[in-house]
Copies of this chain bind each other. A is one copy, B any other.
Amino acid sequence: MMISTKGRYALRIMVDLAQHKEEGFISLKIISERQEISLKYLEAIIGILNRANFVKSMRGKSGGYKLQRESKEYNIGSILRLTEGGLVPVNCSNCTPEHSCARGDECLSYPLWENLDRLVNDYLDSVSLEDIVEGRLVDKDIVIKFVDR
């Protein structure tokens, strides 16, 4: 279980774009040099971001990319779900909250995966691109609380 470079690079692209949002369209070449990531790989990744309208593109000379919205309008969860294709899925297709599968044991652990999934997504959705750029994560501790239903 880990987060691949795809998602991390996507985040770094977005952070870079957010940091230099005053400079208009920024070419991948610049980002690639600044972030020390292969240009060709970046092309593939920003393609995903672009098709989802997370970034705006401009072709031709002095073209490049810029953020479509304000950096506080992006939450990290959506960026990661887009590029990684979902977070922490346990991929137990025959096992849903409604239709529980034949094996009682598998379904015993189902709530665990569901909780984990919610936890990760909730956290990642609570952090905005702006939070990252402003470095707001460092001065807060994060605790889990359990509440009776």
Listed in ascending order, the chain A residues whose CB lies under 8 Å from chain B are 1-4, 7-8, 11-12, 15-16, 19, 34-36, 76, 80, 84, 86-92, 102-103, 105-106, 108-109, 111-113, 115-116, 118-120, 122-124, 126-127, 132-133, 135, 137-149
Contacts of A12 in B (CB 8 A): 105-106, 109
Closest to A76 in B: B112
Pick from B87, B132, B147: contact of A108, CB below 8 A.
B132
Report which residue of A84, A105, A120 has the largest number of chain B beta carbons within 10 angstroms of its beta carbon. A105
Distance between Cα atoms of A16 and B109 in the complex (Å): 11
Please state if B135 and A143 are interface contacts (CB–CB under 8 Å): no
